[in-house]
Amino acid sequence: MNIDSLKKLSDTCYEIPKTGGMRVPGRVFVSRQMAKDMEADQSLLQVANVACLPGIVRASLAMPDMHWGYGFPIGGVAAFDAEEGVVSPGGVGYDINCGVRLAGTRLEASEVSLRLRDLVEALFREVPSGVGVGGNVKLSGKDMKKVLVKGARFACEMGMGDEDDLLRTEEGGALPGADPELVSDRALTRGRDQLGTLGAGNHFVELCAVDEVYDPDAADAYGLFPGQLAVSIHSGSRGLGHQVCDDYLATLSRHVKTLGIELPDRQLACAYVKSEEGRRYLSAMACAANFAWANRQVLLFRVREALMHALCVGPRDLGLSMVYDVCHNIAKLETHLVDGRPRKLCVHRKGATRAFAPGHPAVCEPYRAVGQPVLVPGDMGTCSYVLKGSETAMAETFGSTCHGAGRRLSRSAAMKKARGRRIDRELADKGILVRAAGRGTLAEEMPEAYKDVSQVVEVVHAAGISTRVARLVPLAVIKG
C-alpha cells in the first residue's frame, strides 16, 4: 500500500478506502514528504486491519508518527461504540499507560550548564533504569493493591508529590474502575519492586531547555518560559503492565473465537466492551494504568531529589513543578460528538495522545481556557514539543494527536548503522550528555532511528489536531 493508492482529503490527511472486511475507511494524517516511511513497512495495512473490528466508529485513524506495530499500528487511534463495539488489549499495547510527564523549574538552563555532568550522574544514580531493574520502593501485597486503585495519589500520600501534581495529571493520575482482583499473581510479582523505575528501550529522563515559544499565552498558562530548565520523563507500567496485556491477550484470543469475529491478525484479539470479558480487561488495564501514573510520580520525586542534591538547592529555589502528565497507550470510555450527537465510545490510543480542546471538562481547571497540554518527545538528539489540544481534534480524531517522533529504523538496522560509532560522543559534540544502562541502548535509540519530530508536529499543527506551544531541546538524557 502506498500514498498514491490513497484518497487525498487534504495536504495532511489521506483516506484508505473501505474495502474487503473494513467496516469504515482508514484515515492517515501525514504529509507526502513523510509518507515514504509509512510505505516502507506494514503500518498502512494495520490501519486497514483495525477498520475490520466490530463497532468501530467513523474511521481507523493514524497519526504522522505512525509505524509498524503488532496488531494495531503504533500511532493508531480507534474508537468503538461502547454498546456494540469491542475493546482490544492489542489496541493499547503491552506498556499500558506508557506516557510522558513534563515539569518546569524556576531555573534557566544557562544557570546549570557547567553542572550538567554532575546532574547526569546524580540522575543516573537516583533513577533505577533497565527492563528488569527494581527500585527501592518494595510494595507489600496490601500496598500494591492501593497503588493499583489510587495511582499517583498513592505516591503523593507517601510524601512524593502533592495535589497540584494530581491536578496536572491526565485523569488526576487514576482511572476509575480498577479492580486489583483481576490482576494476575504474575503481574503483581513483576511489578512488586518496579515502582519508581524507568525501564529500558525508549524510556528516559531528560533535562531540557525551553528553546522557542510559539504560543506565549498557552506557554504562560503552562508555566513555560524561554530558556527555562525543564525535566521530561517517559516511562510506563513496567512489567506489571506487560503481564496484564499478555494475560488478557491470551484469554481474549480464545474468547474471540467464540464470538465468530474474523480477525486479520491474532494480536487484534478483543471482547465486546459491555461483555464480562471486556469489562474485566478494562478493569485490569485501569490497574496497570494507575501503576504507571504512580511510577511517574515516584520518578519525578527521585528526579527532584537528585537535582536538589546535585545543585545544593532547596525545593523552593529549584521550583520543580508539574506542567502535565499524559498517557499515550490507553483505552478510555469517553463521550464524543458523532454525527452531531453525543455517543459513548471506547477510544483506543496506541502511541497517540489525548488532545482535548479548550473548555472541555476533562481538562484541568488551570488549563481549561487554553486546552490540554500535549507532550511530544522527539529523539534524544533533536527536540521535543509541547502542543495544545483543539476543537479540530475533537471533531476529527476523537480528541487525539501524535505521541512522538515514531521509529523509522528497526532496532537491528539502527545497530548496524551505529557500528563503529560512538553515539554518546556524537551527542556530546552537540552539547547533549547521555548515560544509558544498557550497552546497546544508545545505538538502538540513536537519532537516525527516529523520524523527524518537527515534521510530525508540522503535520498535526497544519491539520489543526493540536497546535504548537513550545519547543524544548535536550541537554542531558538518562536512558534505560
For other proteins, the binding residue among 74, 155, 357, 387 (CB under 8 A) is 74
Indicate the residue among 336 and 407 with the shorter CB distance to other proteins.
407
3-class SS at 274?
coil
DSSP codes, 351-406? S-EE-PPTT-TTS-GGGTTT--EEEE---TTS-EEEEE--HHHHHHSSSEE--S--
What would the x/- binding string for other proteins be over residues 243 to 272, using CB under 8 A?
x-xx--xx--xx--x-------xxx-x---
Give the end-to-end CA distance of the chain in Å, rounded to a whole number: 35
Indicate the residue among 128 and 196 with the shorter CB distance to other proteins.
128
Cell numbers of 138, please?
518494595
SS3 per residue for 166-215:
HHCEHHHHCCCCCCHHHCCHHHHHHHCCCCCCCCCCCCEEEEEEEEEECC
**C-alpha distances out from residue 50 to 18, 74, 350, 451, Å:** 12, 12, 12, 23
71 is a contact residue toward other proteins (CB under 8 A): yes
For other proteins, the binding residue among 94, 248, 281, 367 (CB under 8 A) is 94
In this structure, what DSSP letter does residue 140 have? P
For other proteins, the binding residue among 9, 313, 413, 462 (CB under 8 A) is 413
Q: How far is the CB of 107 from other proteins (least distance, A)?
A: 34
Shortest CA distance to 118 belongs to which of 382, 379, 476? 476
Q: How far is the CB of 135 from other proteins (least distance, A)?
A: 14
Interatomic CA distance for residues 375 and 100, integer angstroms: 7
Q: How far is the CB of 242 from other proteins (least distance, A)?
A: 5
54 is a contact residue toward other proteins (CB under 8 A): no
Cell numbers of 108, please?
534557566
3-class SS at 159?
coil
Indicate the residue among 240 and 307 with the shorter CB distance to other proteins.
240
* Annotated catalytic residue within 234, 242, 336, 403: 403
473 is a contact residue toward other proteins (CB under 8 A): no
39 is a contact residue toward other proteins (CB under 8 A): no
Concerning whether 403 is annotated as a catalytic residue, the answer is: yes
**Considering only 170-178, 297-305, 374-382, 433-441, which stretch makes contact with other proteins by CB under 8 A?**
433-441
Q: Which residue has the cell 515514531?
A: 406
64 is a contact residue toward other proteins (CB under 8 A): no
128 is a contact residue toward other proteins (CB under 8 A): no
Indicate the residue among 90 and 161 with the shorter CB distance to other proteins.
90
Between strands 467-479 and 433-436, the pairing is parallel
Active site residues: 403
Binding site for other proteins (CB under 8 A): 41, 43, 67-71, 74, 90, 93-95, 130-132, 186, 189-190, 200-201, 239, 242-243, 245-246, 249-250, 253-254, 257, 265-267, 269, 407-413, 438-440, 480
